[in-house]
Amino acid sequence: MWGPGQSLKCLPADVMDNLGRTPGAFGRNEDVESLQVQSPTPKSLRQQLVLNTWPLLKTNAAENGFKMFQTMFDIVPTVKDLFSFLRNSNLPLDHHPRFKQHALLVFNMVGDTAVEQVEKGSLDEMRPIMLELARTHIGNGVVDAHFDLMKFALLRTIEEALPDLWSLELNMAWTEAFEEVAEAIKREMNAQQVILSRISFPT
């Protein structure tokens, strides 16, 4: 089983294959990096796709957030252990109010932050939020592999939510948007870990 501190390399081969591929209309046999090279759409237009589709996704954010996390849990069930309110709960997820609230909050945070990045070119104004997220993620044992898993689940969710709009360009638009948000959080996590290490092992 895959725990909070392990790499995705510890996953079974079939799951690794799914996580290493782009979901949906472009087949699960094409690497994300290959798709990125093939995409003919300029980044500015891909960013516009994020701006155009986020309002559509946000109108059903509760369901989309639920599906995103459900996909993560279906692939790696032990990810539930990252959430204290799920560890000892026997409630089905669709009857768990705190989980549903969390899924909605996270889905909206990802989308709103992606839009902020596109519109302003940086996440400087959201640094306090990134800092708080970094502290929470460190405390819960989140590692880089969890971001990869969430990216896969997000893309799968968008594909299912917007089947008529799903395309190579939309895939790459949201891949890039999510990765920029994730990198901002990970930078803050790394900075916090350096600070914690200095406190733990003073020179």
The answer to whether residue 65 is domain-embedded is yes
pLDDT digits (tens, 9 = 90+) for 25-60: 333 333 344 444 455 567 788 899 999 999 999 999
The answer to whether residue 78 is domain-embedded is yes
- If one counts the domains in the chain, the total is 1
CATH for 163: 1.10.490.10
Would you call 31 helix, strand, or coil by DSSP?
Answer: strand
The answer to whether residue 87 is domain-embedded is yes
C-alpha to C-alpha distance for 30 and 35, rounded to whole angstroms: 7
Question: What global pTM score does this model have?
Answer: 0.75
The answer to whether residue 24 is domain-embedded is no
Range of the domain at 136: 43-200
The answer to whether residue 185 is domain-embedded is yes
Angle between helices 61-75 and 43-58 (to 10 degrees): 110
The answer to whether residue 125 is domain-embedded is yes
Q: Comparing 128 with 155, which gets the higher pLDDT? A: 155
End-to-end CA distance of the chain: 38
